[in-house]
Chain A
Amino acid sequence: MKRVKCHNRCFAPLLGITILLLGWNDCRAQNEKLVFTPHWIPQAQFAGYYVALDQGFYKDEGLDVDIVHATANIASLDLLKNGEADVVSSFMLDAMEQRAKGVPLVNIGQLSQHSALMMVTKKKSGIDTPQKLHNKKLGIWSSGFEDVPLAFMQEHGIRMDLIRILQTVNLFLVDGVDALMVMYYNEYDQINNCGIDEDELNTFFFSDYNLDIPEDGIYCLEDSLNSKGDAYAGFLKATLRGWEYASQHREYALDLVIGEMDRAHLPNNRVHQRWMLEKVLEMMNPGKKKVTKGQLLKSDFDRAMEVFRMAKETQGLQTFGFEQFYQLPAGSKK
């Protein structure tokens, strides 16, 4: 025993130095540092990213990913624009708007293939058709997402008073607005979790009104993509892997989500997050669309562009094509 101890003492410093040198070289050589910003506060909507990070999928791709959340006041695209984030998730129509405004961002992977956007009214209000929404107050996020409802109103020939809200459903609950914009995976369930039964609500899923616009996608700046395409390819690959793993291990994914929310001091509960994970995963399913995971269909892009033009004053904005907007990272092109 004594001899062994002696040997350890002799070789330990040397060994430590060797590892330090080797490790240093290793990190420098392989780990590309990426800051990823999801477009909203921590929740199950981003479960796949947390899983990919926790499971070391990013590390497997030689990436050192740091997740920095956006807030209700600062959008993820702003962080991308000012260089604080290398890669972000964003709502497609918001990204298109930024691109039109000249921000050179590109979609490197479309995760959600469907629209979770919807409007709800209370059944007791009697509003159950698009026409009855005419001249009614619609609660809508101050942070955006208005393109689809605006296109909806235009297509149905109605107008509504848009009441900007920050994020809660309280105004709708106290009847401060007649209708509320909600995400099926989030606010819709929140309303339910405040004691309003599903059968007390009328729902207007935009996807039912030929407005099934894909939503969450991954974006980066065009320059960055050109300079480190392999890193973004790895990020996309690891992210898709993360989502796949999350769908197979939902409770584990929820543990990570709750952990993130706790760290951000956000009220959270598993029941709601479970609903969200389930619905977000449903949105990622191609369904009737002939599309592979992460792919953006040109037809969806075209329809989105149509909606965008309908909703926004396009004068003075740049135009761009599908190929400019959707560019797969170099490494993921097989």
Chain B
Amino acid sequence: MKITIDRTDEGFLVVLNGRVDTTNYNAFENSIAHLYNEKGAAIYLDCSGLDYISSSGLRIFLTLQKKVKVQGGMLKIFAMQPQIKEIFDISGFSSIFSIYPDYETAKHAG
């Protein structure tokens, strides 16, 4: 798993690569934890490189979304691979996350 976080004009661009599973979800949470406290931040989560996500990983997505909303910001997820989208669909998470096909669409979406 590899994570890069860039501050952009729009807010933060988080690029997630590889797998998020029970072995590394803690590291994933630690590396994005500082975003929990960003006031009104718009966080763009690039999932194009995400190959697999376990329920532990989903929990962190959920936590991030909750925290960001509490701080008045928002989380936009984009460019999910089909099998990741499927997991989101199965678990019903597609309905509680803002999911976009790509970065541009995510930026322009309200």
Q: Answer whether A and B touch in the complex at a CB cut-off of 8 Å.
A: no
Q: Show the binding face of A for B, using Cβ within 8 Å.
A: none
